[in-house]
Amino acid sequence: MREGNQENVESIIEKYPKKESAALPVMQLIQEENGNQLDAAGVEEAARALGMSKSRIYGIATYYTMFNTRPVGKYHLQVDTCVPGFLHGADEIVKHLEQTLGISVGETTADDLFTLSTVQDLASCATGPVIQVNDRYFENMTIEKTDELIEALRQGKEPDNDTSMTVVSECGILLNDRTQADCRTLDFYKRNGGYQALAKALSMQPADIVNEVKDAQIRGRGGAGFPAGAKWSFLPKDDPRPVYLICNADEGEPGTFKDRQIMEFNPHLVIEGIAISAYAIGAAQAFIYIRGEFTWIADILEAAIEAAKADGQLDHVDIIVHRGAGSYVCGEETALIESIEGKRGNPRSKPPFPANIGLYGCPTVVNNVETLASVPYIVRHGAETFKQIGIPNNYGPKIFGVSGHVNTPGVFEYPLGTPLKTILDAAGGVKGKMKGVIVGGLSVPILTAAEAEGLSLDYDSCQKAGTSLGSGGIIVVNDSVSIPELALRTIEFYHHESCGQCVPCREGSLVVESKLRALVEGRGTREDIDLVLQLCGTIRGLTLCPTGEAFSMPIQAMVTKFRPEFEALIQQ
């Protein structure tokens, strides 16, 4: 163990109920202190500190994308080329960087200053293209700004990040006024009525809070739309085991960048939501599982938790901010639980469900950030007031993120049931002619422009339209885009992110990717199109977790709805 590390490692381990949960943070620390690399010695150091085998540590290190088992340059340039980034011109940035630096993707410059990589989805969809340099984001990049960035880095300077985008909040519940310099402070939050809901909640019976949330009929905002109150009520009664609450802040669905808006600018709202919910379900230990790339947001949350603690708001619950390390699948609740337990983020077979056997084998509730952030409003104003927002069976405010081909991309907090047109207008309207729109993050079937006509953005209407509201990440595609290329970009994401456990997802995504690539490159046949459709049809519902469906449905929709574009690529 390197000098000074021992103490830090021990203090990390102490934070957790179980030692192995410290695996990711300990490995992150060792990597950070070893020039951004987790080499063989680092793996051994982590294994020794955590009492785990080397193979298990290495297995974790190579599961998550943020660990570098091979050396990287001083500045690791990571360009997000996933679908929203692709639509915003990320490929041009990559090409330009390759030319400027004289290296290809995956290589390091001779002076060891720069390593260039492409990465999958950094949740900066409206502010793309984005380049992540080590753990800092540089958003809204252009060719010129990329040149400036490289020049600054060469001189050892780091320019400011341009995070500008459109922010509209009609509801004013989840998004606060981020133009105020002190918007994320405890003072600001309390001045605007913050923590009053918690005070009210602590004077209520926990069961009454659960009933209030049930009555509000709030549907989970992570993507599945499952009623949050019902999820809470699945917890076993009079069980001697501890109950855990986990806030899912893994925001990794391409097209989605809503949770970070709440956490970064309104962190106390999330913390108050967690504090109330933990009290309601009887959890003394809560976690915020935040995606590893959001380092600065994790810092903001940790600072806010400290402030709330000092203010006496968190006497009944301890909140640990647990940083992921680069994995889409960890947004799935059982994979997330595995990840907190210090394992590869492989989803578990269900049943059992987390409500009964979750974290450390104990009853566990996993709720999305936006869901938990809605709880203070429900408790403070009552379920009936909450239900004034939205439409029947789809109540409350929802943050929609709009990226792709609109004039002013950004985030928009509107009631559920708002017409798609209203949101697109708020985003400055479609740039060019709309070819299709994905309304719920990349995992949902694309709608053609005609199908999207008159669509209302709520769970039921989207389902009726043959798609899903998912996370509310709206990706607009205009007629300059080739759908086969979009499909290839889509499957590349899922193939890259598949955990690799079950055959239909691991091998299925590989075969679908290879066939779509053959088509895009002019090597494909009509049989390839049929095979892709046949595979997608069979994979759906056959996989261990929802990831199989997450790629089979959108690919199936793209191929079916835009088949002539795929057929046009076949060389006669």
Partner 1 sequence: MKKTIFIDGMAVAFDGEKTVLQIARENGIYIPTLCYHPKLGPAGMCRVCVVEVDGMRALQTSCSLMATDGMRIQTASPGVIEARKMVVNLLLANGNHDCLSCEVNGDCELQDAAYHLGIERPAFLVEEQAERDTSAAFIMRDPNKCILCGRCIEGCNRMVVNEVLDFGLRGGHTKVICDADVPMGQSTCVQCGECVQLCPVGALIDKKGIGQARAWEVEKVRTTCPYCGVGCQLELHVKGDQIIRVTGIDGAQPNQGHLCVKGRYGYDFIYSDDRLTTPLIREADGFREATWDEALDLVADKFSQIIAESGPDAIAGVSCARSTNEDSYNMQKLMRGVIGTNNIDHCART
Question: Which spans of this chain sit near partner 1 (rule: CB under 8 A)?
Answer: 40, 43-44, 53-59, 62-63, 327, 344, 349, 495-504, 506-511, 514-515, 531, 535, 538-539, 541-544
User: In this complex, which beta carbon is closest to partner 1, that of residue 43 or of residue 555?
Assistant: 43
At closest approach, how far in Å is the CB of 351 from partner 1? Answer: 9
At closest approach, how far in Å is the CB of 255 from partner 1? Answer: 20
Q: Say if residues 168 and 413 touch (Cβ distance below 8 Å).
A: yes
Instruction: Give the span between the Cα atoms of 61 and 43, in whole angstroms.
Output: 8
User: In this complex, which beta carbon is closest to partner 1, that of residue 478 or of residue 501?
Assistant: 501
For residue 214 the two structure tokens come to 């049930």
User: In this complex, which beta carbon is closest to partner 1, that of residue 28 or of residue 371?
Assistant: 28
Sign of CA dihedral 219, 224, 230, 233: negative
User: In this complex, which beta carbon is closest to partner 1, that of residue 168 or of residue 570?
Assistant: 570
Name every residue whose Cβ is closer than 8 Å to that of residue 116 and which is 6 or more positions away in sequence: 77, 79, 94, 97, 98, 101, 103, 104, 105, 106, 107, 108
Place of tokens 């400036």: 148
At closest approach, how far in Å is the CB of 447 from partner 1? Answer: 24
At closest approach, how far in Å is the CB of 338 from partner 1? Answer: 12
Instruction: Give the span between the Cα atoms of 336 and 338, in whole angstroms.
Output: 5
The secondary element (H helix, E strand) that includes residue 517 is helix 503-520
At closest approach, how far in Å is the CB of 439 from partner 1? Answer: 24
At closest approach, how far in Å is the CB of 500 from partner 1? Answer: 3
User: In this complex, which beta carbon is closest to partner 1, that of residue 387 or of residue 496?
Assistant: 496
User: In this complex, which beta carbon is closest to partner 1, that of residue 499 or of residue 553?
Assistant: 499
At closest approach, how far in Å is the CB of 527 from partner 1? Answer: 9
At closest approach, how far in Å is the CB of 120 from partner 1? Answer: 11
| Strand 397-404 with 473-478, pairing | parallel
Instruction: Give the span between the Cα atoms of 329 and 348, in whole angstroms.
Output: 11
Q: Cβ–Cβ contacts within 10 Å for residue 312, how many?
A: 8
User: In this complex, which beta carbon is closest to partner 1, that of residue 274 or of residue 335?
Assistant: 335
At closest approach, how far in Å is the CB of 40 from partner 1? Answer: 5
Q: Rounded to the nearest 10 degrees, what angle do helices 526-539 and 547-561 cross at?
A: 140
The secondary element (H helix, E strand) that includes residue 197 is helix 196-202
Sign of CA dihedral 509, 515, 519, 521: positive
* String of DSSP letters for 338-398: HHHTTS--PPPPSSSPTTTS-GGGS-EEEEEHHHHHHHHHHHHH-HHHHTTSEETTEESEE
Q: Cβ–Cβ contacts within 10 Å for residue 144, how many?
A: 9
User: In this complex, which beta carbon is closest to partner 1, that of residue 57 or of residue 246?
Assistant: 57
User: In this complex, which beta carbon is closest to partner 1, that of residue 527 or of residue 567?
Assistant: 527
User: In this complex, which beta carbon is closest to partner 1, that of residue 96 or of residue 495?
Assistant: 495
Q: Cβ–Cβ contacts within 10 Å for residue 102, how many?
A: 11
User: In this complex, which beta carbon is closest to partner 1, that of residue 63 or of residue 279?
Assistant: 63
At closest approach, how far in Å is the CB of 515 from partner 1? Answer: 8
Task: Fill in the DSSP letter of residue 182.
Answer: T
Q: Cβ–Cβ contacts within 10 Å for residue 376, how many?
A: 28
Instruction: Give the span between the Cα atoms of 497 and 106, in whole angstroms.
Output: 18
At closest approach, how far in Å is the CB of 409 from partner 1? Answer: 29
